[in-house]
Amino acid sequence: MKETTGLSGSQLTDALEVLLDIGRDLTASLAAHDRYGRLLAAVRRVIPFDAACLLRLSGDELVPLAAQGLVPEAMERRYPRRLHPRLDAILRSPEPVLFPPDSTLADPFDGLLTADPHALERIHACLGCVLTVGSEVVGALTADALEPHAFDDLDPRLLANIGALAGAAVRTASLIESLERRAERGARVARELQRAADETSGAVIVGTSPAVGRLLAEISVVAASDLSVLITGETGVGKELVARQLHSGSPRREEALIHVNCAALPESVAESELFGHVAGAFTGAIRDRAGKFEVADGGSLFLDEVGELPLALQPKLLRALQQGEVQRVGSDRLHRVDVRIIAATNRDLPAEVERGRFRADLYHRLAVYPIRVPPLRERREDIPLLAAHFADEARRRLGLGPLRLTDEARERLASADWPGNVRELANVVSRAVLRASARRAAGAPLTVEATHLDVVPAGAAERGAPEGAPSPSGTEEGPAPLPLRERVDAFQRRAIREAVERNGGNWAAAARELGMHRGNLHHLARRLGLGR
């Protein structure tokens, strides 16, 4: 392309404004379609075209991204380089290419101009610029005019600068589109994982008792708000299930519910796990890492066993709740987050505040809306429904046929102590179904008898029962009942010892058998004086 003698003052001003506008759009928050359309509109101010097309190179084909002055059919086509020598020539040339009016190379857009859609081989002006980012070719910009000499006086340096900026715009838009697709895929994966978790964990609060009715009413009241919720209740009552119900009933339901088990966080990594870290912040921090607060941005963060959170970390958690800001370990930068907090604990947090083990201001920030989950002994009328629900879950997991519980089995379940609450009931029923299925033909009807249940009769727990003491399911009459808390502790102490022994001293396996997280089991064992 020949050099021009230069631009006039007004032309230079227009050219600079066009380049400036394209440059500004590179950093603007625009959808890809808008970005491409604005680019062509800016180019039209300095190039007198009747039609122009912005194309992205995909393999050996050029794919239209945006066009002006072309019929819609042009946007639906793909343009292989080997079939379109003009486009191939543009991609091969480091300089803008101006084709002579009498060029024998076929123009890919002949007959596609809206200004003259009937012309099949109309001679007109045609130019093109290769779009590059660094040394990489990313596409092409073409312009056509019906007047054969419309582009003769254009400055090739201006075209080269437009091509460079257009290439950057195409790359920027492509990266944004890629990130948006990945984000959307991540969101879909999160929703599918959430749905799968809900389905596999039986994420439905089962029961028709007044206690469950009150619980469901509380959930429906607060779920649609953004208030922080503190779920309290004994071990095994279903606090995580309540948290899932709160999230699924909230406007954030399409975002993730991120679960953090505070009891399982070693104090040395708890801050990094919650708030993230930067590379080099500590030994082993080889790259920047977002914490759970940033991961949950836009969604909900479930702080399970929040009463176990180290006291030294509580002020930083309080700041995150109050200000909506988190600071990664080793960084001075603050990150804004929009997170709905749902916390849960089986501890008496007001008592922990009095003992100085939990910050009063953090407690009040978490307990904006407290929800107490009733223990199973306060909703005994729900036990038959729950037993049937868990029996059916176990049947499906094991691939068994029709199943029923005998009346004696139901009575045994309804009259038993349940210090482990719903979780213990689920484990007892699952084991009973497994025992009942032994030596049964696949698909055969199954009956769960009372003898299949290793359930603890009411009042059977004893203080400090010695090793080898009669099974809790035995019928021997014990001493006078102890206070409930001591009976629960005695039962848990014995259950942990037996589970650890059955698993050869493997605490992780014992935790799985008991339906607990290993960190929670260690913490409970220490509280019960079992030396963990």
Residues 6+ apart with CB under 8 A from 267: 310, 312, 313
The CATH number that applies at residue 492 is 1.10.10
Using alpha carbons, list the distances in angstroms from residue 316 to 441, 453, 455: 58, 47, 44
pLDDT value at residue 399? 86
DSSP secondary structure of 72-105 = HHHHH--EEGGG-HHHHHHHH-SS-EEE-TT--S
Q: Tell which wins on pLDDT, 138 or 46.
A: 138
DSSP secondary structure of 166-210 = HHHHHHHHHHHHHHHHHHHHHHHHHHHHHHHHHHHTT-S----SH
**Which residue range forms the structural domain that includes residue 513?**
463-469+480-532
Within this chain, do residues 172 and 301 fall inside the same structural domain, yes or no? Answer: no
The CATH number that applies at residue 99 is 3.30.450.40
Within this chain, do residues 260 and 146 fall inside the same structural domain, yes or no? Answer: no
Show which of 374, 389, 421 is a domain's final residue: 374
Q: What is the pLDDT of residues 326-365, one digit of tens each?
A: 999 998 888 889 999 999 999 999 999 999 999 999 999 9
Q: pLDDT at residue 25 above 70?
A: no
Question: Which band of pLDDT confidence, cut at 50, 70 and 90, is reported for residue 193?
Answer: low
Within this chain, do residues 386 and 352 fall inside the same structural domain, yes or no? Answer: no
Spacing of C-alpha 496 from chain mean position: 35
Q: Give the three-state DSSP class for 335.
A: strand
Residue 505, phi then psi, degrees to nearest 5: 80, 5
Alpha carbons 402 and 400: distance in angstroms, whole number: 7
Alpha carbons 90 and 128: distance in angstroms, whole number: 6
Within this chain, do residues 506 and 410 fall inside the same structural domain, yes or no? Answer: no
The CATH number that applies at residue 442 is 1.10.8.60
Question: Which band of pLDDT confidence, cut at 50, 70 and 90, is reported for residue 221?
Answer: very high
Question: Which band of pLDDT confidence, cut at 50, 70 and 90, is reported for residue 475?
Answer: very low
Asked if residues 316 and 271 have their Cβ atoms less than 8 Å apart, the reply is yes
For residue 503, give the DSSP letter: T
Q: What is the pLDDT of residues 494-525, one digit of tens each?
A: 888 888 878 777 887 888 888 787 777 877 88
Alpha carbons 222 and 246: distance in angstroms, whole number: 8
Show which of 458, 488, 513 is a domain's final residue: 458
Strand ranges across the sheet with 257-261: 257-261, 300-304, 340-345, 229-232, 369-372
CA geometry: angle 390, 393, 395, nearest 5 deg: 110
Half-sphere exposure of 224 toward its Cβ, with a 13 Å CA cutoff? 3
Within this chain, do residues 236 and 106 fall inside the same structural domain, yes or no? Answer: no
Within this chain, do residues 213 and 361 fall inside the same structural domain, yes or no? Answer: yes
pLDDT value at residue 302? 95
Within this chain, do residues 52 and 120 fall inside the same structural domain, yes or no? Answer: yes
Question: Which band of pLDDT confidence, cut at 50, 70 and 90, is reported for residue 463?
Answer: very low
Q: What is the pLDDT of residues 297-307, one digit of tens each?
A: 999 999 999 99
pLDDT value at residue 444? 80
Of 2-6, 27-31, 152-156, 485-489, the range with the lowest mean pLDDT is 2-6
Give me the chain's average pLDDT, please. Answer: 82
Q: What is the pLDDT of residues 86-141, one digit of tens each?
A: 999 999 998 889 998 888 888 888 888 887 655 545 657 899 988 888 788 889 99
Short-list 2, 1, 122, CA closest to 51: 122
As to burial, measured by CB atoms within 10 angstroms (0-12 exposed, 13-18 middle, 19+ buried), residue 75 is: middle
Alpha carbons 171 and 494: distance in angstroms, whole number: 65
Show which of 317, 344, 374 is a domain's final residue: 374
Q: How many domains does the chain have?
A: 4
Residue 334, phi then psi, degrees to nearest 5: -100, 140
pLDDT value at residue 35? 75
Question: Which band of pLDDT confidence, cut at 50, 70 and 90, is reported for residue 220?
Answer: very high
Q: pLDDT at residue 73 above 60?
A: yes
Q: pLDDT at residue 85 above 50?
A: yes
Which residues lie across from 55 on neighbouring strands? Answer: 64, 140
pLDDT value at residue 471? 42
pLDDT value at residue 372? 96
Asked if residues 367 and 197 have their Cβ atoms less than 8 Å apart, the reply is no
Residues 6+ apart with CB under 8 A from 22: 39, 42, 162, 165, 166, 169
